[in-house]
Amino acid sequence: MKKILVTGGAGYIGSHTIVELIASGYTPVIVDNLCNTSTENIHGIEKITDTAVKWHNVDCTDKIAMDKVFTKEGRVEGVIHLAAYKAVEESVLKPEKYYNNNIGSLKVALNCMQENEVKNIVFSSSCNVYGMPDVLPVDENAPFKKAESPYGETKQICEEMLKDDTSNSVALRYFNPIGSHSSALIGDCSADSPSNLVPLITEVAIGKKEKITIFGDDYNTPDGTCIRDYIHVVDLAKSHVLAMEFLIKNPGKHAFNVGTGIGVSVLDAVKAFEKTNKLKINYSIGPRRIGDIEKIYADGSLVKTKLGWEPKEKLEQAMKSAWEWQKKKKR
């Protein structure tokens, strides 16, 4: 079976990707220092798949430690690089943290790959590389405009690094992943306070927070709130498997949007959670948040044509699974 190193593999997206890799016959190896997740996801993966998962507790910016991982693992077919900080608002407050980790971890991964003759990397990018797009839905030919946040800038820089490197690469430009595995055994174990919409909604629903704040209701959108493309994390995880399979057969440099193509406002997302789970969510309107993009959603025609990927899970399923995960976390 083909061995795949997954940096950040114990995290939210990483854990779901590990499950899908195992289901597709790959042997994944997790590299994660648990700086923003926990072993709960690793145990959850093993319960879901009935498979023992190899795990290296390593900081992906540590070249010496990463060298040892590559040496120990021997022949590796490819790397799925997910090790990055992801909170847009925090990146505005702590830009150096994001530059050092997000860019530094990719630099180390690429160096280790070159030294160990590993040719293929699937990179966790973001729709934030587009900044505020001029045309919607946004496709992969849209120019990289000035990033709205240091987080978005790190993804732009990382994609440029991939273009200049000798490796074969696929950059998956995520839109907004939400939800959890239907088993509620893996999910977002972030150690810090959640900054993304749906985890904040579930914390209000469970009683951990009094309310959520919707940042701005005066944008040029139908209800004044920002518009996003919310994608179920299981669908997103499956795109990584398809991307690696595609890359093995099609060497080169590639980039694909991974989203539903459906724009949903923040307010409508709150209402969708309420309707699906028969709950009322307390919210207030606050000022706009630095780093936020007004509206963005994907043109997903290229990823469908090239990878055969398209979203299967509905918004309601994502909202239900997010709530099930939150309830489990409280137990």
Are the CB atoms for 174 and 125 separated by under 8 Å?
yes
How far is the C-alpha of 295 from the C-alpha of 224, rounded, in Å? 10
DSSP per-residue codes, 19-32: HHHHHTT-EEEEE-
How far is the C-alpha of 16 from the C-alpha of 233, rounded, in Å? 7
How far is the C-alpha of 293 from the C-alpha of 145, rounded, in Å? 12
How far is the C-alpha of 207 from the C-alpha of 71, rounded, in Å? 47
Tokens of 99: 């530059």
Output the CA–CA distances (angstroms, integers) from residue 330 to 181, 212, 279, 322, 324, in the order listed.
17, 19, 17, 13, 10
Are the CB atoms for 59 and 7 separated by under 8 Å?
no
Catalytic residue check, 26: no
291: region left, alpha or beta (phi > 0 left; psi from -120 to 50 alpha): left
Backbone angles phi, psi at 229, to 5 degrees: -110, 100
Q: Where along the chain do its domains lie?
A: 3-186+229-260+299-311
Radius of gyration of the chain (CA): 19
Does the domain formed by 3-186+229-260+299-311 have CATH 3.40.50.720? yes
Pairing, β 230-232 against β 176-178? parallel
Backbone angles phi, psi at 255, to 5 degrees: -145, 135
> What are the strands, taking DSSP E only, across 179-304?
212-215, 227-228, 230-232, 253-258, 264-265, 283-286
The per-residue pLDDT for 196 is: 87
How far is the C-alpha of 206 from the C-alpha of 203, rounded, in Å? 5
Output the CA–CA distances (angstroms, integers) from residue 29 to 37, 55, 131, 244, in the order listed.
16, 6, 33, 15
The per-residue pLDDT for 190 is: 82
- pLDDT means per 10 residues in the chain (331 residues)? 94 98 98 94 98 98 98 97 92 95 98 97 97 95 93 97 97 97 94 81 95 96 97 98 98 98 98 98 95 94 98 97 90 58
In our burial notation (b when 16+ CB lie closer than 10 A, e otherwise), range 58-87 reads bbbbebebbeebbeebeebbbbbbbbbbbb
How far is the C-alpha of 151 from the C-alpha of 84, rounded, in Å? 9
The per-residue pLDDT for 53 is: 97
Indicate the residue type of 119.
K
The per-residue pLDDT for 95 is: 96
CB-CB neighbours of 280 under 10 Å: 9
> Which residue among 151, 174, 219, 230 is the active-site one?
151
pTM given for the model: 0.96
